[in-house]
Structure 1
Amino acid sequence: MNFSIKEIATAGMVLFAVIDILGSIPIIIDLRNKVGHIQSEKASIVAGLIMIAFLFVGEEILKLIGIDVNSFAVAGALVIFFLAIEMILGITLYRDDAPETASIVPIAFPLIAGAGTMTSLLSLRAEYHVENIIVAILINIIFVYLVLKSSRRIAKALGKSGLAVIRKVFGIILLAIAVKLFASNVTGLL
Structure 2
Amino acid sequence: MKELVKINLYRALLYIIVIGALNWGLVGIFDFDLVKSFGNLFGYKAGDMISRFIYITVAMSALVLIVQRDIRLPFLGMTVVPQPMTNYKPTGELVSTVVKDLPPNVKVVYWAAQTSDKVVDNPTDAYGDYSNQGVTTTDLNGVATFEVRKPTSYKIPYYYNPFIGTLESHIHYRYWTSAGMASRIFTINI
Greater C-alpha radius of gyration: 2
Tell me the TM-score normalised to structure 1 length. Answer: 0.26
| Structure with more strand by fraction | 2
Higher relative contact order structure (alpha carbons within 8 Å, sequence separation ≥ 6): 1
Tell me the TM-score normalised to structure 2 length. Answer: 0.26
